[in-house]
Amino acid sequence: MLSDARLNLPPGSGLPADDEGLFARVYSWEEAVCIGPPGMFIAIADIRHRLRRDIQYLLLAGDYMRVHSVNGALVSGIGAAEEAAQL
């Protein structure tokens, strides 16, 4: 997949020429809890429904599309990848 991405790099791209150390960045933060407002899950479901209906081939992923957490971001990314694989 990275070899395909390298075929059409935008000017100034930071994508390295090889795969060594590509994913070596570490982030850390203090413990916290993210709390969404009431109605958040209904609003997200509505957004996902409208995107599928109105904008073909646009898939969004991130913690804002699920539960606000690293796990939510991971599940969202996996779901978007699975949808993309079926397009």
Q: How far apart are CA 32 and CA 26, in angstroms?
A: 18
Q: What is the domain count for the chain?
A: 1
**What is the pLDDT at residue 20?**
64
How many CB atoms neighbour CB 65 within 10 A? 21
Which domain does 47 fall in, by range? 2-85
**What is the pLDDT at residue 23?**
63
**What is the pLDDT at residue 82?**
92
Q: How far apart are CA 73 and CA 81, in angstroms?
A: 12
**What is the pLDDT at residue 77?**
92
**What is the pLDDT at residue 48?**
84
> Using a CB cutoff of 8 Å and minimum separation of 24, what contacts does 23-29 make?
none
**What is the pLDDT at residue 11?**
76
What residue ranges of the chain have pLDDT lower than 70? Answer: 1-2, 16-24
**What is the pLDDT at residue 22?**
61
Q: How far apart are CA 13 and CA 32, in angstroms?
A: 34
**What is the pLDDT at residue 19?**
65
Q: pTM for this one?
A: 0.52
